Structure formats: C-alpha cells, structure tokens
Amino acid sequence: MPAAYPLPTDLSPTTVANTASLLRIIALALISSAAIASRLFAVINFESIIHEFDPWFNYRATRVLASKGFYEFWNWFDPTAWYPLGRVVGGTIYPGLMATSGVIYNILHALNLPVDIRNICVLLAPGFSAFTAWATYMFTKEMKDESAGLLAAAFIGIVPGYISRSVAGSYDNEAIAIFLLMFTFFAWIKALKQGSAFWGTIAAVFYFYMVAAWGGYAFITNMIPLHVLVLMLMGRFTSRLYVAYSSWYAIGTLASMQVPFVGFQPVRTSEHMAALGVFGLLQIVAFGQLVRAHVSSKQFQGLLFAAVVFTGAIGFFGIVGLTYKGWIAPWTGRFYSLWDTGYAKKYIPIIASVSEHQPTAWPSFFMDLHFLIFLFPAGVVMCFRTLRDEHIFVIIYAVVASYFAGVMVRLMLTLTPVVCVSAAVALSSLMDAYLDPTEPEVEDEKKESSTPASVVAKSSTSTTTPATPATGKKSKKSKDKETSAPAGGVLGELVSNVASSAVAANSAAPTQKGIFGLDTRVVVLLNTIGMLLFFVVHCTWVTSNAYSSPSVVLSSTNSDGSQHIIDDFREAYYWLRQNTAEDAVVMSWWDYGYQIAGMADRPTLVDNNTWNNTHIATVGKAMSSPEEIAYPILRKHDVSYVLVIFGGLIGYSGDDINKFLWMVRIAQGVWPDEIQEPNYFNRGEYRVDSEASPAMRDCLMYKMSYYRFAELFGSQQAVDRVRGQQVPAQGPTLDYLDEAFTSENWIVRIYEVKKDDVLGRDLKIANAFDQGKKRKRTKPTSRRKAISA
C-alpha cells in the first residue's frame, strides 16, 4: 500500500487510543477556555456589568432569589412593575436562569467562596458556552466522529452568531438555553440510536430544564415530533423510535407542566399539539406493527390500514374541533408572525417594534457565521449521503432553522448550532480525505479496487493516524469511516480542480478514489487552515467590535486614542435612586423599564415584559399628546417623573425620538381617533426642525427632548446630531412638567410632573401668571377642557 507520507508503525493500539483520548480532552479544554475568553471582551473593555435591557430584570430577580430564598422568589409579587397593576413575577417568568445562578451562588457560598451575585450573573453565559461546546461535540460525534465533534465544538465556541447572545454580562435566557438545546438534542439522538428509555428520560429532564429556562423550548417541542413524523413517513419506524419518543414525550410533557408559566399549555395550545399528535400516531403505528406481527392475512392488513387512517383522522379532527371550540388555544400572534413577516407590523406593532424581531438582512449571515455558511450546505449534503436516522434530524433542523433565521434576526441563534455541526461534518470529511496517507493504487486497480479489503486496510492504517484517531477501534466506528470515506472523495474531487490533475486521471477508475502526492494534500490543507484562521480573526473582530458593548455604558474614543466612557444612563438612574422618593413612579418608554427597576429601584409604568398592550399604548399616548392631554393621564397614573432618552447632543441614535413613531403606532392601535401617525409627518417626512408638523411640535416627547436644547448652543444654530437637522432657536416650553435632571451628555432627561397649583388654577395659566403674561379671555374654556379630559 503506497503512502503519501510515512507513519510510525511501532505504536501499540492502546498507546494510540490513550494519546488520542488525552489530546481530545486537551482540545476540548482549550476550546472551552477560548469560548470563555472571547466572551470576556465586554468585561475587559468596560467592566463586569449586566448588559442591555432584559438581563437587568433577570439580574434583579436573581438578586431576590439569592437574598430571600427560592420560595419568596416563587411567590414574588412585584408591585413596582406595571404600576399600578403590579406583576406576579414567579408565575410570569422562566425561572431556569435565575435558579441556575441561585444554585451556583449557594454552592459557592457553602464552600466559603463569597462571590458577588452580579459576577455570577455576568459570567454565567461564558461559562455555559463552554458546556455548549462540549454538548455540540457530543452531538456531532453521533453524526460523524470525534474529529468532526472537536471541529464543531471549536466552531460553536467562537462563532459570533452564538457569542452575540452570550457575552459576559448578557445575562439572558439564551445564555443557558443553547446548551440545553444541544444537550437535549444529543440525548434524543442517543435515545433514538440505542432505543434507550434512560437516554429518553435524560432528554426529557433536559427538556424540562429548557422549558424552565427559555420560551424557545417550543422549538424542541416541535423539532423532535417532526423528526419522528418524518422517520415514520420514510418507513423507518422501529421499536427504538417508539421507546425513545414515548419516554421523552411522557416524562418531558409532565415535567414541563410543573413550570407555572407553562402550566397546562402543553395540552391546551396549538403550538404543543404536534407533539401530542405524533405521540398518538406513534401509538397507533406501534399497535399496527404489533398486530401485523401476529396476523398475516392480507385482507386484515388492509382493514388495519383503514383503521389506522381512520383513528388518525379522528385524532386530527378532534384537535381541530377542540381548537374551534376554544378548548385548545389557537396559534398566538407571535407564532403567526413567523409565517407572515408583515403580520406583526399590521396587528401587533409592539412585537414589530423590537429590532431583534425584524427579518434578517443577508449580510448578517456572513457576519455571524463567516465561512461556515458556505460549508453548511455541503454538510447537509453529506448527511444525505449517509442518511441514518440522526442525519435526518440534522437535515430537518437545518431546513427549519434556516427558514426561521431568515424571518427573525433573533432566531439566527437557533440556526447557529446546526450550521456549526454541518460545517464541521463537511470540513472534517475534507480533512479526513486529505490527511489520510493512503494513496490509491493505480497499477493493480483491477484486482484490489472493488474489494472491501482495501477499505478495511485503510481504516486500520488510519488507526495510527493521530488526526483521525479512535476510528477502527470498534466495528461501528469503522462503519462510520467506511461511509464517510467516499464522501471525502467527493469533496476531494471538488478541490482537486484547483489542486492537481492526478485525481482527474484517477477518475477513470470510479471505484478507486484517493489523492496522490504530498503537494496536493499540502495545498488543500493549507487552504483549509487559512480559512480556519480567517474565521478566528473574523470571530474575534466581530466579537470585540460588534457584540461586546453593554449598551448601558457607551464608549467613544478621545482625540488621543484613549477610551472615553459615556455613562449617562447610570448617572441618571443613580440620581433617581438616591434623590427621589422611594415610591416615586417613573414613566418612560417600555425599553427602559427593566433598567429603571434594576438600577434606579423605582416603580415604572411599563417595562420590557410587554404583556399589557393597552398600558403601553397609554404611555405612548401620553408621550405623543400635547401637554394638556398628557397631564391628566400622568396624574391618573401617579407619575412623578418622566424619563426620556435624547441623543441629539452627542449623536446617540437609539434615542426616543427615533423610536417615537412606534409609540405613535402603538397608541394609534388603541386610540385610532386621537392619535394618527400621518399627523407626525410633514408631507411624508419625519422632521424635528422648524418644519416639524404641529402635532409633532406639541407632543410631550418632542418638548421634553428639545426643552432648552437650543440655548446650549448660545448664538449658534442648534443642530440635532442624530437627525442632522437644525432645531429652531426658540425651543419648546413646558407648563405641566419641570426639568428635574439632565445627564452630563444630555442623553437621559428626567422631568418632574408638577403637582396641582395651590390656588387651583390650571398650571398653564399659573405659569403664564408667573411670567407676567396677561391672561387671555379664551383661556378659561381650554382650562375646563383640560381638566375634564
């Protein structure tokens, strides 16, 4: 057997196996540390701080859990959220994340390691990303082999699509959910392969953990039944499938119903019906198989088939009927928006207003996945070539997740694992083909080419290859090798167009495929290594530049290149916390609700848990109405302070004026007679300068944003740096509100709602009187109007 390069032959198989095992452990440890390290950019560039919006709520809830214990947390009613409604926190959250942190916190404290709960929360996501890498390794190992597993682990460890949701400080449900997703899938594949009720139960337990941790558990709830259904339709029903699915479904569903927020949803909502239906179908098919095993009459089989179809139809129409009668809740709006991207914008503007619910722009596929996105289809094709049960799973997963990732930016996250797995399978097949030192035998191709002996010999030589270790250890593994070897040849053919003509000559003998010479291998492998290196560079760059900003703290660069921290949010929130009454209600747009609750510790009207559209629309209405109309709304809701975000001075584009149209739209959804979106445009243009429409100029949001802004520029023309428009020198005036605090760069502006005038006058008149203006005759009528409004 000719070889492209010599391999040592005097090694015992045990030594090779042990060395390979050690190398794998070391590689996994290095991958884990790389995964953790690359997520620490945020901590190093800024500090150990909770990021963005939702994490602030999770952090606050975790602090309650850590300081008051689990039962207090479970029964926690938060009167400060959604003032005056309050929020039953224990029953409206997925507690898995907080429980995880709480458990870690308690374990560390029991070991006398008094780590601050904030640091646990900040570092939870990086920690779990190491677990995710391991779970992906295990999953991919089931697909191909250990080397593909290691590649997949390395990919998922640093791929930006996953890092975007799991940097240090991004303390959100996704932080642990991706690990749970991958591990549940791994356990499912394991259960399916072995027909093991034990692995089915493990899958169910991790499914339960997933249900407790993330609303995206519905993805698993539908993926596994879909897989089972496809397997059944392909005629691949086996008792292993029956055992695996039944144990997973029965235990998983019962367990998931223990989460209060989920409750009876697994039997009452349409999203979960697929799992139930497949479970029923599986029982019918299993029963049919049982009967067929005992009865041989062809006629009876026909009857049985009819019975199966009949029962299936009854089950299906039963579910439809129950849905129609209202016993089973129909699809929710969020679900519809997955199928019709225009749906949310039309009917639920509050969902559409979230930027991460927008359809994905295609460059972001490259941004988030880099070269994996090219390898991904190749990997899926590889799966088709082998097509065992678990490969069907990957194919379904790939198709479904690709669709969802195209619909919503946020669902890029669920696509990422399967991309890593497929790409790893593809790349590792390529590497297998080119690292294998065996050269095809040209001379006596007629004799040996078609015998399986060459394949066996090949796999036995590859036992000594460190790059593809452990193959050939068991007979099952060598089967893997056998099936993947021709696949490598296919890619080898693809690459050979560039590399050499040796394979082209070889293609004359279709049964004997392989690569000649060292140069071919080196060229291809160097290319591969180059791609991998570029991938690492890209991931590091994207992570450090795009995904590691806490968004609570902004940073800019000074003229000398040093970092300048813009800390307006925390400045204003801290001011609220220290210098206002503890029960002072703060009104702001819902984006800032969790941050105010977390950092300023004050009651808020609305927050990021957008469960009550009317309440949010009320805030939207107050923001988009003139002062006279807004004031009674504010007073009715006991609002003491109104907080707006204004980026016009330093050019912070995520400010409230840019979000304002969503406020208008959401308010319009509830009060279509009073708030109309077109009123805020001037001939179709959204303007804030002197050409702004009257409704825009009178609304509370505009007034609060630009109050005294022009005076800051003195005699120069005031410019809004976000919108690039010139603001009129005569700024808006406020009668019912009073500026209470403005942060250093004017990003956060807080206004106090004035109390009623002591003399019972309308505040506008009182203000005019204070400024020495003459009272106009027409005022009293407007005053009565304002009070009755």
Residues that bind another protein (CB under 8 A): 47-49, 111-114, 553, 565, 567, 570-575, 577-579, 599, 708, 711-712, 738-744, 746, 752
What is the 8-class DSSP label of residue 306? H
Nearer to another protein, 99 or 572 (CB): 572
Q: Would you say 14 or 299 has its CB closer to another protein? A: 14
Residue 710 backbone class (left: φ over 0; alpha: ψ -120 to 50; beta: rest): alpha
User: Max Cα separation, the chain?
Assistant: 112
Give 557's strand partners: 563
Pairing mode, if any, of strands 639-645 and 585-587? parallel
* Nearest distance in Å: CB 767, another protein: 13
User: 412 or 639, CB closer to another protein?
Assistant: 639
Tell me how far, at minimum, the Cβ of 601 lies from another protein, in Å: 8
- In the complex, minimum distance from the CB of residue 421 to another protein, in angstroms, rounded to a whole number: 29
> How many CB atoms neighbour CB 562 within 10 A?
7
CB contact at 8 A, 473 and 17: yes
Find the shortest distance in angstroms from Cβ 23 to another protein: 19
Alpha-carbon distance of 590 to 609, in angstroms, equals 8
CB 115 within 8 Å of CB 108: yes
Q: How far apart are CA 631 and CA 642, in angstroms?
A: 11
d(CA 392, CA 189): 11
Q: Of 47 and 583, which has the nearer Cβ to another protein?
A: 47
Q: Residue 423: which residues within 8 A CB-CB, separation 6 or more?
A: 151, 152, 155, 371, 372, 375, 376, 378, 379
Min separation Cβ 218 and another protein, Å = 35
Between 20 and 413, whose beta carbon lies closer to another protein?
Answer: 20
Q: Which is nearer to another protein, 297 or 715 (CB)?
A: 715
| Cα–Cα dist 265/270, whole Å | 9
CB of 597 to another protein, least distance (A): 13
DSSP class per residue in 280-347: HHHHHHHHHHHHHHH---HHHHHHHHHHHHHHHHHHHHHHHHHHHHTSSB---HHHHHHH-TTHHHHH
**Nearer of residues 223 and 734 to another protein, judged by Cβ:** 734
Q: Shortest approach of another protein to residue 126 CB, angstroms?
A: 18
Provide the 8-state DSSP code for 3: B
Q: Which is nearer to another protein, 571 or 638 (CB)?
A: 571
Output the CA–CA distances (angstroms, integers) from residue 503 to 140, 300, 488, 529, in the order listed. 29, 56, 13, 22
The DSSP bridge pattern shows strands 77-78 and 87-88 to be: antiparallel
Helices (H) and strands (E) in the chain, counts: 36, 10
- Any idea which residue has 């049985």 for tokens? 304
Residue closer to another protein, measured from CB, 300 or 713: 713
CB nearer to another protein: pick between 185 and 707: 707
3-state secondary structure of 739: strand
Rounded least distance, CB 662 to another protein, Å: 27
CB of 424 to another protein, least distance (A): 29
- Closest to 528 in 3D by CA, of 560, 483, 559, 498: 498
State the DSSP code for 585: E
Q: Rounded distance, CA 464 to CA 7, Å?
A: 7
Amino acid at 782: S
Phi-psi region of 260 (alpha: psi -120 to 50; beta: other; left: phi over 0): alpha
Residue 22, both tokens: 């050690």
Task: Considering the complex, state which of residue 288 and residue 731 has its C-beta at the smaller distance from another protein.
Answer: 731
Q: Which is nearer to another protein, 526 or 565 (CB)?
A: 565
* 725-727 and 718-720 strand pairing: antiparallel
Considering the complex, what minimum distance in angstroms separates the CB of residue 115 from another protein? Answer: 9
From the CB of 693, what's the least distance to another protein, in Å? 27
| Torsion angles phi and psi, residue 98, rounded to 5 | -65, -40
Q: Is 227 or 749 the residue whose CB approaches another protein more closely?
A: 749
Rounded to a whole number of angstroms, the minimum distance from the CB of residue 653 to another protein is: 21
Nearer to another protein, 507 or 579 (CB): 579
Pairing of strands 585-587, 563-566: unpaired
39/63 with CB nearer another protein: 63
Task: Find the shortest distance in angstroms from Cβ 579 to another protein.
Answer: 5
How far is Cα 505 from Cα 19, in angstroms, rounded to an integer?
A: 38
For another protein, which is the closer residue by CB, 578 or 781? 578
- Rounded CA-CA distance 407/93 in Å is 25
Judge contact between 613 and 663, C-beta under 8 A.
no
Q: How far apart are CB 570 and another protein at their closest, in Å?
A: 4
DSSP-derived 3-state class of residue 550 = coil
**CA 149, CA 131: separation in Å to the nearest integer?**
14
Considering beta carbons, is residue 520 or 743 the nearer one to another protein? 743
Q: Cβ–Cβ contacts within 10 Å for residue 448, how many?
A: 16
Q: DSSP assignment, residue 579?
A: H
The minimum distance between CB 746 and another protein, in angstroms, equals 7
**Cβ atoms of residues 609 and 81 within 8 Å:** yes
CB of 541 to another protein, least distance (A): 25
Which are the contacts of 294, defined by CB distance < 8 A and separation ≥ 6?
Answer: none
3-state secondary structure (DSSP) of residue 344: helix
DSSP character for 600? I
* Closest to another protein by CB, 113 or 361: 113
Query: Least Å distance between CB 36 and another protein?
Result: 21
Least Å from the CB of residue 554 to another protein:
11
Q: What are phi and psi of 87, to 5 degrees?
A: -145, 130
- Are 124 and 175 in contact by the 8 Å Cβ rule? The answer is yes
Residue 173's nearest CA partner among 109, 103, 101 is 101
Handedness of CA 359, 364, 366, 369 (dihedral sign): negative
